[in-house]
Structure 1
Amino acid sequence: MNLKQAGSGAEVDERLAALLTNANAVRATTAAIEGTIGPKGLDTMLVDRFGEVIITNDGVTILDKMDVNHPAAKMLINTAKAQQSEVGDGTTTTTLLAGSLVAEGVNQVMRGVPVARVIEGVKHGVAAALERIRTRSRPMDDLNSLVLRQIAMIAGREHTDIADLVVEAARLVGREKLAEPAFRLSETITAEEGAENEVFLGVVIDKERMNKEMPVKLTDVKVLLIDDALEPEEMSDEALGTESGFKRYIELQEEFKANMRKIVDMGIKAVLVDRGVHDAAEEILTDAGVLVVQRVAAKDLRRAADHTGARMVKRTGLKKDPEDMEKYLGYASQVFEDEKLEQIRILGGKGKPMATIVVGAATQEIVGERERIAKDAASSVQAAVKAGYVPGGGALEIMVAHEVEKHREQVKGMAAYGVDCVVNALKQPLSQIVENAGYNPLEKVEDVTVSQVRSGKDSLGVDCDTGQIIDMLETGVVDPTLVKVHAVRAAGEVAVAILRIDTIIKKREEGANAAKGAGSEMKETGMPDF
């Protein structure tokens, strides 16, 4: 149905213009990634104006690298990024659900259902879907379960070596660490050209020692972490211009050198610094055989602190007595530089167990893709340990859609049409998966729905090789519950936000941009100057 069929005259056109414009932008964005979902999903090639190429079927990577200007499309992309940030996987599912919700919502509005009623129904439907997904979750009680490896395999796009690395790392750090809100197993991954696949208890710092005169390898190491620059305290130019100020400057220099000698006398052999290192510190510590790494990323410092048991200090903390400073030190069995990979490794820390996953790649071109695959697998494994798992392959969404459809009876008035939007959107993941596999999506979705209703099993889905109805749990096709929960919630939120937009107005430029002929730009766009 086109815009003119929805009503008569310019008034209707004006009323629906923003909604249709936004819906078209969302549809175009969804179309860019829908062909990647499922075991038969294909890759997308991204090419920039310089000819640099990325080949991937990772949804969030495609969305992030797309050249997009439309604000509604950007809203959808930001939702996928939020899904990636929160649970690390499920971005394609989130985008498909959101795109379908918007499209279904527009269809209902075109039929004459008020937008407010559609939004009300969508909210009811999403809440009902979330409740039913949670109740159908299975707990992940055993880190040695084969299900955990299957989750890693699916999220890792059937890369057996990566799945094995991720599961081994999860077992090394343990359930308690995986459950910590601030810990991300995906952040323990590093991919390197020419490296061998490995998992070990330790931390990798993607830096080299400060100079080649420092030791390459140390054992039984006291570790000092400085969350600051390793430099004397600063003084203003104004203060240095006075006699007393210059005198104080000399005192600070001598005090700093004394602190460096204190580090040496305490037997500290490895120093990791957040920012730069003063020449005097480099000279004293090098002569004493101390390994110094400067400009270490904050997240790497935190991981080193966790693993070694160290507490980070500022430069002023170096004034403490040796007895007090001992409380801030960490300990490791080994600290060494891998000169081939240009990395510092800290092993055998006496703090919390901290695993590192090294993913090897044959060429530089596939390093990024191997790392993305490993991060997806790690995120899914951690999510499953936290909150359990559900049948994958779009099977769960079909059962939930059936249950939400029954919930429609509890919704009054025209809001029930908004619930229909949620029901149809929940069918979209399976529909797209089987379409990518070369089957008729209408036929297969109906087959799965009938089979699930007759058997009462939410795990029945489609075998993408044969087209037959199979049990996803028996074949190991499973997804983390958190991925599904966040995908449905995020899709609902962005769809409601887009459906609520009634008018699009070009914003007046402010600051430096205001001087660039805003008046003529308004005339070009045909928008009123108000």
Structure 2
Amino acid sequence: MNAMHSPGQEGEEAYATLRNNSNAIRAICSAVEGTLGPKGLDTMLVGAQGEVIITNDGVTILEKMDVTHPAARLLIQVARSQQQQVGDGTTTATVLAGALVAEGVAQVTRGVPVAKVVRGIQDGIATALESLIARARRIEGLSDPMLYRIAYIAGREHADLAGLILDGARRLGLPKLREEHFRFSDVVLSHPRAQNEVWPGLLIPKKPVNAQLDFPPSPAKVLLFQDAFEPETIEEEALMTDAGFHKQMQLREQFRATLEKLVELRVGLVAAERAVDAEAEQFCTDHGIMVLQRLPRAELRRIADYTGARAVRRSALHKPAAELAGYLGFAGHAAYDERLECVRLAEGQGRAQVSIVVGASTSEVVGERLRIARDAASSVQAALRGGCLPGGGAAEMAVAHQLERLRETVQGMEGFGIAAVAQALRKPLAQIVVNAGYNPLEKVEEVRAAQIAAKNGSLGIDCDTGAVTDMLEHGVVDPAEVKLHALRAAGEVAAAVLRIHTVIKMRQRTED
């Protein structure tokens, strides 16, 4: 006998995958939403070996969580994308994505076709993005007072870190910060024995291979190898023959002879991507030449960019000294800092560079301060590129009201998707006031009414007093790029999750 199902049971079975995915995403959101806003709290992450990380950085929490559910992993991809593209706003992106999924699921389970909801969400996101771009306020250079407020808010109200980041930004200059591929956050470093500092040059986190480390600070010509700093070698099989052995000895003698060119050219620093030969190391030590080995290629590029050097292969040592000189860079100051275990370079003849050092008393604390400082640096750079918007969820609330009006003009079922976007845009403000200890329903409606009455999309909630206040006047501002990317990414993941009808485990590949 065939089992009989009621219409209600069939509906529940049809939505089982959707509800399962939604619940997994809800669980992920609950792990980070408590960190949102100025009153957000920290999360303690505990590893299998007892290691502890205390943070309220959204991407750190999500990256370190033990997550197996495939839909939950989609949400983590949103945070990862936000971090890679903008460098800040991962919690906002996660909260928005979670809210969009929840609102979309609510519409689908009411009977609205998934395709209509997804189309409406896409239309709503497009309208919301246009609205946010139109509302963005341009940052008028590095002296704009809003820039400090952006660093302060993104830096979780650490005034010392906000000042440090702005100091570094001013030393770098606006053209460098607006370069497409330059990431300001990459110049921020940390060390538990350091004091806060902006170094006008490069800090290379490497210890010289030289036996002596007391190199006096001095000008240095810089030679970079994008392979090993050692004699050329022949194949191992050839080395087993007499001819091969003599050839290898000949190559070593030639290498020894080429080392004299370093003294002739007054090279003061040699850096190699791979290993350094022991005899070359001793020669350099005898002649006061600092040697660094096994540098990541990205680090080698930074040194080349700053000093004006061009990285060469070891075979370039056979070139005449006059020709090899054209590949050298220059730094007016090169020295090893034993306390920070890094090499300091300054006064390079290449492009401008700074290194921002963040210090703290313990490695756990310095790790969190580093994450905070990098968020602030990313926000400052994003604001210089794309302007700023009122923070505290105010801008999202203003756009939500705009979408509500749009919803009233849409006759098709896509309107339910637009309504889902409008409702999701209320979530950041609601979560911020929850974390501050207020009733979200009351405060969200209070802001909505105040914005409509005053025709001012900058109004939000002061988390200290609970009163409605102008976020721009209060100095609560966020980079426009952070909000735009967060909303765009949230819309993409919500559409992807809502379209999933069935989850099937793939057959594991077997080796023949």
The answer to whether TM tops 0.5 is yes
Q: Distance in 1 between matches of 2:212 and 2:436?
A: 58
Equivalent residue letter for 2:253: E
Q: Which moved more, 1:373-382 or 1:442-451?
A: 442-451
Find out whether 1:489 has 2:510 as its counterpart. no
Aligned to 2:301: 302
Q: Which moved more, 1:394-403 or 1:244-253?
A: 244-253
Residue 160 of structure 2: SS of its match in structure 1? helix
Equivalent residue letter for 2:505: K
How big is each residue's C-alpha offset from its partner over 1:313-356, in whole Å with a ceiling of 9 and x where there is no partner? 22233333222222221111111111111111101111111011
Q: What is the CA distance between 1:260 and its match in structure 2?
A: 2.1
Q: What is the CA distance between 1:416 and its match in structure 2?
A: 1.0
Aligned to 1:471: 470
User: Residues 125-136 of structure 1 correspond to what in structure 2 (within 5 A)?
Assistant: 125-136=124-135
- 8 Å CA contact 2:188–2:373 kept in 1: the answer is yes
How big is each residue's C-alpha offset from its partner over 1:150-185, in whole Å with a ceiling of 9 and x where there is no partner? 111111111111111100000100111001122111
Q: Distance in 2 between matches of 1:409 and 1:453?
A: 16
User: For the structure 1 residues 278 and 410, does the alpha-carbon distance in structure 2 shift closer, same or farther, using more than 3 Å as the test?
Assistant: farther
Q: What is the CA distance between 1:507 and its match in structure 2?
A: 1.1
Q: What is the CA distance between 1:51 and its match in structure 2?
A: 2.0
User: For the structure 1 residues 501 and 200, does the alpha-carbon distance in structure 2 shift closer, same or farther, using more than 3 Å as the test?
Assistant: same
Find out whether 1:72 has 2:65 as its counterpart. no
User: Residues 17-28 of structure 1 correspond to what in structure 2 (within 5 A)?
Assistant: 17-28=16-27
Aligned to 2:253: 254
Equivalent residue letter for 1:226: F
- 8 Å CA contact 1:215–1:290 kept in 2: the answer is no
- 8 Å CA contact 1:44–1:57 kept in 2: the answer is yes
Aligned to 2:425: 426
Equivalent residue letter for 2:45: L
User: For the structure 1 residues 319 and 182, does the alpha-carbon distance in structure 2 shift closer, same or farther, using more than 3 Å as the test?
Assistant: farther
TM-score normalised over the length of structure 1: 0.93
Q: What is the CA distance between 1:449 and its match in structure 2?
A: 1.3
Q: Which moved more, 1:277-286 or 1:105-114?
A: 277-286
Aligned to 1:435: 434
Aligned to 2:347: 348
Q: What is the CA distance between 1:236 and its match in structure 2?
A: 1.7
- 8 Å CA contact 2:193–2:339 kept in 1: the answer is no
Q: Distance in 2 between matches of 1:78 and 1:137?
A: 27
Equivalent residue letter for 1:224: L
Q: Distance in 2 between matches of 1:320 and 1:386?
A: 44
Unaligned residue ranges in structure 1 (runs of 5+): 515-530
How big is each residue's C-alpha offset from its partner over 1:397-423, in whole Å with a ceiling of 9 and x where there is no partner? 011111122233564511111111110
Aligned to 1:527: none
- 8 Å CA contact 2:222–2:307 kept in 1: the answer is yes
CA RMSD of aligned residues (A): 1.7
Residue 502 of structure 1: SS of its match in structure 2? coil
Equivalent residue letter for 2:173: G
Aligned to 2:143: 144
Q: Distance in 1 between matches of 2:25 and 2:83?
A: 19
User: Residues 385-464 of structure 1 correspond to what in structure 2 (within 5 A)?
Assistant: 385-409=384-408, 411-464=410-463
Aligned to 1:518: none
Q: Which moved more, 1:277-286 or 1:168-177?
A: 277-286
Find out whether 1:230 has 2:191 as its counterpart. no
Aligned to 1:163: 162
Q: Distance in 2 between matches of 1:321 and 1:214?
A: 30
Q: Distance in 2 between matches of 1:13 and 1:109?
A: 12
Residue 139 of structure 2: SS of its match in structure 1? coil
How big is each residue's C-alpha offset from its partner over 1:241-283, in whole Å with a ceiling of 9 and x where there is no partner? 3444334323322232233221222110111111110112112
Unaligned residue ranges in structure 2 (runs of 5+): none
Aligned to 2:337: 338
User: For the structure 1 residues 214 and 319, does the alpha-carbon distance in structure 2 shift closer, same or farther, using more than 3 Å as the test?
Assistant: farther
Find out whether 1:96 has 2:95 as its counterpart. yes
- 8 Å CA contact 1:199–1:357 kept in 2: the answer is yes
Aligned to 2:8: 8
Aligned to 1:269: 268
The ranges of structure 1 where at least 4 consecutive aligned residues each deviate by more than 4 angstroms after the TM superposition are 409-412
Q: What is the CA distance between 1:46 and its match in structure 2?
A: 1.1
Aligned residues: percent identity?
Answer: 52
Aligned to 2:211: 212
